[in-house]
Structure 1
Amino acid sequence: MLTQLAWLALEVKYLEPARRFYAETLEMDVREGRVGRSRGDDENGDELTFAAGETDLVLRRPTGLPRGGLHTHFAFSIPVAEYDDWWDRLSERYDGDLEETQFGTAKSLYLYDPDGNCVELGQRDVDGPGIDGIFEVVLEVESLERAESFYADLGFETVDRGSERKRVRMNGPDPTGLALELWEPQLGIADARGGVHVDLGFEVEGEAPTQVLEAIRDCVRSVERETDERVVVRDPDGHVLTFTA
């Protein structure tokens, strides 16, 4: 059973402007001693990891495999009461380049990082202060039917389908708190695009990662690593999924 999104990795061209955006603009803390965790290798100086609640946001230069995701649209959780402060502060800096959408009673704002990733800050029931988790990641897929079937085998449940756009929204198994949006190539809110070769890590509880692999083995593009503690696969669209004990 998947219990938590452990990390989302993004590809960045240069670490310093990306660091400034996430550390200064979004006021996120660097996790010390976490370089290389997502790749499972030694520290290499080409990764930087930020704390998004209990999830790692990994910024990775394109110096090895797996690469991080390109033009990935993802959503950070922020406390409901902080939204107006975030909007006021960021709108001063971005001078009209922010976009806003309301989903029921919750609002989200959208902006872009230096590498073209569409970053959403959405009102959620979290403690904060500041960014406290990742609640959505958008993946670009070739076939909605194939991708939906694959993630259903991992415990994700379809909760919404696009009427005009070719997309499917799937909620992860409790208690992950993660929704995946599967998009065939298109532009979404704020002209966002689904990510390509996105790297996601999941923690597994109550069963070994190899047991998770058995549920999807016949559908994966490839198995990159298989041990009792860590399984790495590529899904049918080439996204990298890691399952860790």
Structure 2
Amino acid sequence: MTDKAIPGLHHVTAISGPPQANVDFFTGVLDQRLVKRTVNFDDPGTYHLYYGDHEGSPGTILTFFPFVGAGRGSAGAGMASAYSYAVPKGRFDDWIHRLDDLDFAHEAPAERFGARVLTLHDPDGAPVELIETDRAGDGTMLDGFHSVTLWLRDIGPTAKLLTEVMGYEEAGHETVDGTERLRLRAPGDARGAIVELMRREGAGIGRQGAGSIHHVAFRAESDAVQLDWRERLLRAGMQVTPVIDRQYFNAIYFREPGGVLFEIATDPPGFAADEPVETLGRDLKLPPQYEAYRARIEQVLPPLKVPA
């Protein structure tokens, strides 16, 4: 049994419409690197695209299943409703100027837990939040994830799981215009250390589709730590899958009490397991079981243009 807390987010996986618009937005407007282009392991006729920092570090990774004909989804109770990027100290106003220079629409800055928040929307209408922090950056305009928001009908059971089992600590509580937020923080200074639990009056029914979040993945530093977490979660009454090999990490999945799909993913082997860091995301990478079908898969997948 591990006595450690979860250090923070590993990745967030969402659903989008056509892949080219998705690539253009995340590599262009948000200046993220496409660190891996592969396929949905359960549907190899669909891409699985991963964006992150230059090295593809845990805590920076946003992934998409881009379905060309996907219907529009919408967030609702029992779903993750938003992910937020951390804006390094002193760069928040730079983001406003950048978006204005690009003539890219965004909402007026708001305040949450004493920090400024800038919200824009991706090509499928999903909110993308940029949150001001006091953390120094490394010269980039975003420093991986700040947080993820879970929309729940009842905050209590999910908060109990995150605090009593996964090691999070309460870090703030506020209610603004009928929206209640409980902020939880993982110990330490890893990226993506914050989870916010949100309850809103008159919550509608969510629907998976383009513009919705599929699941939220937390970090395990090693395979052994992941197995410890699996045992702990089983003892807590969660129905947890066996370990699944996702080529760049191993994964276990379960639904938390509010209905959101959670994953715990290992840091190793990482996205440089099958290509050098210098060329991450340049070529289509397939898991071994699909390599024999590469020619057929490449004919089905739409072509992608990715900035150098």
Paired AA for residue 35 in structure 1: T
Q: For 2:218 and 2:113, how far apart are their aligned partners in 1?
A: 30
Partner of 2:11: 7
Q: For 2:47 and 2:223, how far apart are their aligned partners in 1?
A: 33
Q: Which runs of 5+ in 2 are unaligned?
A: 76-80, 203-211, 268-308
Q: For 1:91 and 1:76, how far apart are their aligned partners in 2?
A: 18
User: Cα distance 1:7–1:89, how it changes in 2: closer, same or farther (>3 A)?
Assistant: same
User: Cα distance 1:151–1:121, how it changes in 2: closer, same or farther (>3 A)?
Assistant: same
Partner of 1:192: none
Corresponding position: 1:154 with 2:156: no
Deviation at 1:73, TM superposition (A): 1.4
Q: For 1:104 and 1:144, how far apart are their aligned partners in 2?
A: 18
Q: For 1:126 and 1:70, how far apart are their aligned partners in 2?
A: 34
Corresponding position: 1:48 with 2:49: yes
Deviation at 1:222, TM superposition (A): 2.8
Partner of 1:191: none
Q: Does the aligned pair in 1 maintain the 2:251–2:263 contact within 8 Å? A: no
Q: For 1:204 and 1:40, how far apart are their aligned partners in 2?
A: 23
User: Cα distance 1:104–1:161, how it changes in 2: closer, same or farther (>3 A)?
Assistant: closer
Trace 1:6-155 onto structure 2 (pairs within 5 A): 6-32=10-36, 35=38, 45-52=46-53, 54=57, 55-61=60-66, 71=75, 72-94=81-103, 97-102=106-111, 106-124=115-133, 125-127=135-137, 128-152=139-163, 153-155=165-167
Q: For 2:160 and 2:251, how far apart are their aligned partners in 1?
A: 23
Q: For 1:83 and 1:208, how far apart are their aligned partners in 2?
A: 36
Partner of 1:198: 215
Paired AA for residue 51 in structure 2: F
Partner of 1:174: 188
Q: Which residue, 250, 254, 264 being the options, matches 1:233?
A: 254
Q: Does the aligned pair in 1 maintain the 2:17–2:67 contact within 8 Å? A: yes
User: Cα distance 1:184–1:151, how it changes in 2: closer, same or farther (>3 A)?
Assistant: same
User: Cα distance 1:4–1:206, how it changes in 2: closer, same or farther (>3 A)?
Assistant: farther
Deviation at 1:197, TM superposition (A): 4.2
Corresponding position: 1:242 with 2:264: yes
Q: Does the aligned pair in 1 maintain the 2:48–2:66 contact within 8 Å? A: yes
Q: Which runs of 5+ in 1 are unaligned?
A: 64-68, 188-194
Deviation at 1:149, TM superposition (A): 0.5
User: Cα distance 1:227–1:13, how it changes in 2: closer, same or farther (>3 A)?
Assistant: closer
Q: Does the aligned pair in 2 maintain the 1:235–1:241 contact within 8 Å? A: no
Q: Does the aligned pair in 1 maintain the 2:25–2:123 contact within 8 Å? A: yes
Measured against aligned partners, the alpha-carbon deviations of 1:30-74 in whole angstroms (never above 9, x if no partner) come to 104x636xx7779765111111472211111359xxxxx964312
Q: Does the aligned pair in 2 maintain the 1:22–1:28 contact within 8 Å? A: yes
Aligned residues: 231
Deviation at 1:230, TM superposition (A): 4.0
| SS class of match (1:99) | coil
Measured against aligned partners, the alpha-carbon deviations of 1:177-222 in whole angstroms (never above 9, x if no partner) come to 41101113459xxxxxxx7642324233595212112222245653
| SS class of match (1:89) | helix
Q: Does the aligned pair in 2 maintain the 1:140–1:196 contact within 8 Å? A: no
User: Cα distance 1:150–1:62, how it changes in 2: closer, same or farther (>3 A)?
Assistant: farther
User: Cα distance 1:150–1:197, how it changes in 2: closer, same or farther (>3 A)?
Assistant: farther
User: Cα distance 1:111–1:47, how it changes in 2: closer, same or farther (>3 A)?
Assistant: same
Which has the greater radius of gyration? Answer: 2
| SS class of match (1:225) | coil
Q: Does the aligned pair in 2 maintain the 1:4–1:204 contact within 8 Å? A: no
TM-score (norm 2): 0.64
Paired AA for residue 231 in structure 1: I
Q: For 2:125 and 2:235, how far apart are their aligned partners in 1?
A: 34
Deviation at 1:145, TM superposition (A): 0.7
Q: For 2:201 and 2:99, how far apart are their aligned partners in 1?
A: 27
Partner of 2:229: 212
TM-score (norm 1): 0.78
| SS class of match (2:143) | coil
